[in-house]
A and B are shown apart, each in its own frame.
Chain A
Amino acid sequence: MIAALILRDVRRGLTGPAWLPIAFFLLVATLVPFAIGPDARLLARIGSGALWIAALTAALLPIERLVEPDRADGVLDQLALHDLAEESVAFAKIAAHWLTFAPLLLVAAIPASALLAMDGAALARAEIALAIGTPALAALAVAVAAVTAGLPRAGSLAGLLLLPLAVPLLIFAVANALLLEAAVSLLLTAGAPFVAGAAIRAART
């Protein structure tokens, strides 16, 4: 059942607007050279930080469609009746969201790095940092989506919840402290299914 749920969410993500956060990511990366001018050395210096800000804002976009539609439609209830723990549902949603979000983001980082005048070595470092960080971004997105499911103005509330929690990830990733980033990523990814599961249970009426 977990595998079926992951497959279903991946299919829904890919047939739906999976490209939207990626287009948003590229757009933000495009804005940076316009905002600070075409100085290649300055761009290269801030490049990885700009990539991460673009990635964090892009991670906010899909939050509203991750949990709320399934809650409102009774899918989460039926899954519970099929003896699937809410934590397992949350894990499946994190895995499916990561699969539709991370690979596209890593590909989109290549043209984005060109826009930011980053060289090959800087791109490689940024790709590794993004690869380590994206599971945590997906996990945070699902946890925040579950916490805000059913609330009015959930979208703006989700941004206020997610961005502060992603700050440690951002700090270690941009400082190229990959082991510390991996530790934070592991913590967030491992904890998120429990937060999301409890939130799904609490939201039941």
Chain B
Amino acid sequence: MRPLLRFERVSLRRGGRLLFEDLDLALGPGDALQVGGPNGSGKSSLIRLAAGLLAAERGRVERSRLALADDHVAFDRELTLKRALRFWGGSPEPAMDALGIAILAEVPVRLLSSGQIKRATLARVAASAAPLWLLDEPLNALDGDGADRVAALIERHRASGGAILAASHQPLSGDWRRLELVA
């Protein structure tokens, strides 16, 4: 079966420093991989490389349709949360329900807290219908309830044949394969 994300002997250099070399990985339907490692070890760069936003120095990356949630907000701050989410396509209502932000639908994005913004960026991923999710530090700024909701969302996505690549230095609940980067 064709994997949703595959790295073939991929090397990445950032700012003159080799972050990793000859990395192979493959994510199929239902797979979840957590990338760990200390600050500056290249977790976020690996995510951006998987997204196609960075170019590998060597090697091949194959990817299916994907959605990315990182620490960039990428919403119009003057719009209400629902309209801001709708700009990115799909129907955001079920995703907003799943992340517990449906009640904020008519609130302008600029008034949201950082935890609520984080939930909104994850809702954009959930609403995207992309089979591959790339999550950079998905638990940052989330409270206990938020973390539980994200875990449930991830389980549902995997059960429906999706794959997830997450970078996090916090343990994620559920059954994850692990990849440790070294500084």
Q: Which residues of A contact B (CB under 8 A)?
A: 1, 4, 8, 12, 15, 73-75, 77-78, 80-82, 204
Contact = CB atoms under 8 A, between A and B. Distances in A.
Sort A-B residue pairs by CB-CB distance and give the 10 closest, nearest first. Answer: A74-B72, A74-B74, A78-B74, A75-B74, A73-B74, A77-B53, A81-B68, A73-B73, A204-B53, A73-B72
B40 to A, nearest CB: 14
Contacts of B68: 77-78, 81
A204 B54 contact: yes
Contacts of B53: 77, 80-81, 204
B38 interface: no
A179 B183 CA distance: 60
Nearest to A4: B87
A15 B74 CA distance: 18
Contacts of A74: 70, 72-74
Interface size class of chain B, counting residues whose CB lies under 8 Å from the partner chain: 10 to 19
A81 B87 contact: no
Interface of B: 51-54, 66-68, 70, 72-74, 76, 78, 87-89, 124
A82 B72 contact: no
Contacts of A1: 89
B87 A82 contact: no
Given A12-B76, A77-B68, A77-B70, 10 more contacts: A1-B89, A8-B76, A15-B78, A73-B73, A74-B72, A74-B74, A77-B74, A78-B88, A81-B66, A81-B67
Residue of A1, A8, A82 most packed against chain B (CB within 10 A):
A82
A73 B76 CA distance: 9
Contacts of B124: 78
A81 B76 contact: no
Contacts of A75: 72, 74
Contact of A82 (B54, B70, B78, B88): B88
8 contacts: A73-B72, A73-B74, A74-B70, A74-B74, A75-B72, A77-B53, A78-B68, A81-B67
A80 B124 CA distance: 15
A15 B52 CA distance: 33
A80 B52 contact: yes
A8 B53 CA distance: 23
A96 to B, nearest CB: 13
Contacts of A12: 76, 78
A7 to B, nearest CB: 9
Nearest to A80: B53
A8 B87 CA distance: 9
A77 B69 CA distance: 11
Given A15-B78, A77-B53, A77-B68, A82 B73 contact: no
A12 B52 CA distance: 28
A11 B68 CA distance: 26
A159 B52 CA distance: 33
B177 to A, nearest CB: 24
A81 B89 contact: no
Residue of A8, A12, A75, A78 most packed against chain B (CB within 10 A):
A78
Contacts of A4: 87
Nearest to B70: A74
A78 B120 CA distance: 14
A15 B53 CA distance: 31
Contacts of A81: 51-53, 66-68
Contacts of B67: 81
Contacts of A78: 68, 72, 74, 88, 124
A1 B74 CA distance: 15
